[in-house]
Amino acid sequence: MPNCTTFLDANACNPEKIALVVPSRGESYTRADLRDRVARVGRGLLNLGIERGERVCIYLDSSPEYLISYLALWRIGAVAVPTNRVYRENEVLYAVRNAGAAAVITDAEGAALVERIRDQAPALRHVIAVGGETWADLLRTPPNLRAAHCRFDDLCQIQYTSGTTGKPKGAMLTHGNWMAAMDAERDVLRITPDDVYLGIYPMGHVGISWGIATLRAGGTYVVMERFDLGHYLDLAREYQATIVAGMPPVIHSLLQTPPGTEAALATARVMISGGGPLTPAVWKPFHERFGIPVVNAYGLSETVVVGTGTAIRPEHYATADEFRSVGTPVGFSEVKIVDADDPGQELGPGVDGEIALRGPAVALGYWQMPEETRAVFLPDGWFLTGDVGHLDANGMLSITDRKKDMIVMSGWKIYPTEVEDVLVQHPGVRDAAVFGCPDVRRGEVPVAVVVPSEGGVTPDDIIAFARDRLAGYKVPRRVILAAEIPRVNGWKLLRKRLREEYCDAGGV
């Protein structure tokens, strides 16, 4: 029966091939190195008494130790609980306590934080600091560890959602989910052992799946812990990356670079985008200038990205709805559009509704949240994503917005992404976010926070620009200039935080 780490053993037939590169540390790991370290850490965790099915939190910066910890936990049949190293004390406590974690793998600073909350987490038995004696003991353990015998539906990960709309929910991911995700992402990108993937997604996020899919296919995963545009271009050039991770802000930043930058990405045959809407005003000129097809992917934590999801592929470009679509179902995925108030009613082509996904990577549900699970994981296998979109006549999916982010003003429905797409076309705007603020008379009204470009812009300029391009009810009633817009890991927009900061401070 399956264990989603057995690809490490299959790849060992070519043990000296480089699997993982960490430029910031001057380190590289062959296939044999990676397999042996995973086996050593896994065996060491068993020796500490970590049992099959027990949860272990990972609280590290993106690093080889983060990846090795994932794989070691999966290999012994335990459950990885990834967290982000930028989490504060209460956020770490929530994950550790909610998951009932038996251990936390962290660094020295993280260990000090965990010790402060230890008495509030009764299940916690071990705090393992990378670089400390316990971690060193794990690496000294003999690497004779065969992967645990698992079933497709055996839990291997609890992936907490970002909590942008409330308390974080732990999506229960299985060995089968991850195997489906590796296969789907390998298929989407057509990854071969000759590929070099430059990864920028935080390892605490399901975006790490693209890197793991590369390893599964026998390719090389180059790790970039924190995104910096200049360094990103240097790494792409130095390692001759053939697949590069991106996201809308990255692609937008590349468009602002001087002529000649294209040479740094000369070996890239495809770029990944996801985590937010990629507007035609950014996507099309990027493709025309750099000539790199963008795989615009759609998926969620609950579906291990495109393990069950959709994606644009290069062959779709002829029918890609003018650079607007996130494509068609990947692998064994299904997609349909349903009435947001009546999920049993399927909607036809061109009609906006809630996006529902079904397929092999849909999570089992939410950890210890039966009501929330029943609300979106339906008995017939469909998962209600909370995203709004439509299918065209060719079955290609376009995202309109988040259902919970939709603004309803005097009965009119306003999708923030549509308004943002217009605002970022203003030459004086570098970034924009639109959200709803309460209004006594109209229920809600649209408000915009804008990051100006170097040339500068005024709120009145932006409102006038929007009036020329949008129906009157969609025009922001207030525009706020700011130095930055809050995003998770620099990309997923935090509308909830914007509402908290600006709606209660003076209204509209």
**All domains of the chain in start order, with CATH:** 7-13+26-150 (3.40.50.980), 179-403 (3.40.50.12780), 406-503 (3.30.300.30)
pLDDT (0 to 100) of residue 491:
60
> pLDDT 10s digit of each residue in the chain, 508 long?
689 999 999 998 899 999 999 999 999 999 999 999 999 999 999 999 999 999 999 999 999 999 999 999 999 999 999 998 888 888 899 999 999 999 999 999 999 999 999 999 999 999 999 999 999 999 999 999 999 999 999 999 999 985 444 578 999 999 999 999 999 999 999 999 999 999 999 999 899 999 999 999 999 999 999 989 999 999 999 999 999 999 887 898 899 899 999 999 999 999 999 877 788 888 999 999 999 999 999 999 999 999 999 999 888 887 666 788 999 999 999 999 999 889 999 999 999 999 999 999 999 999 999 999 999 999 999 999 999 899 998 899 998 877 678 787 865 768 788 788 889 889 999 999 999 998 766 778 999 999 998 888 999 999 999 988 887 888 999 999 999 998 865 567 888 889 889 996 444 4
- Best CA proximity match to 135, nearest among 76, 46, 60, 65: 65
Per-residue pLDDT, 105? 98
The owner of tokens 């970002």 is 162
In three-state secondary structure terms, 502 is helix
Residue 245: beta bridge partners?
Answer: 272
Residue type, 393: A
List the structure tokens of 69: 């910890």
According to the model, what pLDDT value does residue 359 have? 98
In this predicted structure, what is the pLDDT of residue 143?
92
Query: How far apart, in whole angstroms, are the C-alpha atoms of residue 183 and residue 307?
Result: 8
Q: Minimal CA–CA distance to 157: which of 69, 44, 271?
A: 69
Query: What does the pLDDT read at residue 165?
Result: 44
Q: By C-alpha distance, which of 320, 311, 309, 245 is closest to 284?
A: 320
Cβ–Cβ < 8 Å for 125, 116: no
Determine the residue type at 335: V
d(CA 275, CA 254): 17
For residue 125, give the nearest of 68, 45, 38 by alpha carbon. 45
CA-to-CA dists, residue 442 to 337, 408, 410, 436, 479, angstroms: 29, 8, 5, 11, 18
- The residue type found at 325 is S
For residue 162 the two structure tokens come to 């970002």
Strand pairing report for 27-30 and 18-22: antiparallel
Return the CA Rg of the chain.
Answer: 23
